[in-house]
Amino acid sequence: MATPDWRIRGIHLGSCNCAYGCPCEFNAPPTYGPCEGFEVFEIEDGYFGDVTLDGVRFAALFRWPGAIHLGGGFVQTVIDETADAGQREAILTILSGKEQDPGTLFSIIAAITETEAETLYLPIEIAFDIDARTAQTRIPGVLEAKAEPIRNPITGAPHRVSVELPDGFDYREAEFASVDARVTAALTIAYDKRHGSLSLFDYTPRGIGR
């Protein structure tokens, strides 16, 4: 069966319990042992075959017992309740990694995930300003998180950190932020002033599109 043509582009807020910078981006182990956190995506324009995905939001809550390349991951997906049946199926198919080339984001995540919890269909709220390095996201009863600029410990002034990954598989450029997060779903996660990233995403069957 031919791979459906698809592409999704939009905004992304991601965070984990590691120190600012995220050791994964430097091929280093997690700061505190396990890697746990969340990712929230809003598709500004997208399609999967003849299914339009404009405006669809989805999220992933995750935990790995150690460095993510060692596997054993636990992931729970949340899709905004406003997505219709065709959109839900399209998002789950994309996230499965089966319709993306090996070595690209969703195929990698699928390969290192051992357990998937039941998918939830709930309202997903996100407010996002990449230039200001601020964001807020909420999934009622599941996720509350806020991103703000990393602060200079002496003056309190915003400290800008932007990262470029020419060969990155999840993003090529991102603004780093400080995130407070609470997750209460199949996973329970709580942390303050930990790593966060704000980026624009563009994913295709062949990987990053831009």
pLDDT per residue of the chain (210 residues) written in tens, 0 to 9: 456 899 999 999 999 999 999 998 888 999 999 999 999 999 999 999 999 999 999 999 999 999 999 999 999 999 999 999 999 999 999 999 999 999 999 999 999 999 999 999 999 999 999 999 999 999 999 999 999 999 999 999 999 999 999 988 899 999 999 999 999 999 999 999 999 999 999 999 999 986
Structure tokens at 190: 């709580």
Angle at 40 between CA 52 and CA 87, to 5 degrees: 20
| 149 inside domain | yes
Provide the number of structural domains found in the chain: 1
Picking from 94, 111, 114, 103, the residue whose alpha carbon sits closest to that of residue 46 is: 94
| 209 inside domain | no
| 102 inside domain | yes
Write down the number of H helices and E strands in the chain. Answer: 2, 16
| 178 inside domain | yes
| 1 inside domain | no
Q: Range of 172's domain?
A: 6-202
Name the residue type at position 95.
L
Q: What's the pLDDT at 25?
A: 86
Distance CA 32, CA 21 (A): 13
For residue 5, count other CB atoms closer than 10 A to its CB: 12
| 190 inside domain | yes
Picking from 89, 121, 84, the residue whose alpha carbon sits closest to that of residue 6 is: 89
Q: What's the pLDDT at 110?
A: 96
Q: What's the pLDDT at 8?
A: 98
| 130 inside domain | yes
Provide DSSP, 59-118: EEEEEESS-GGG--EEEEEEEETTS-HHHHHHHHHHHTTTTS-TTSHHHHHHHHEEEEPP
Q: What's the pLDDT at 210?
A: 65
| 169 inside domain | yes
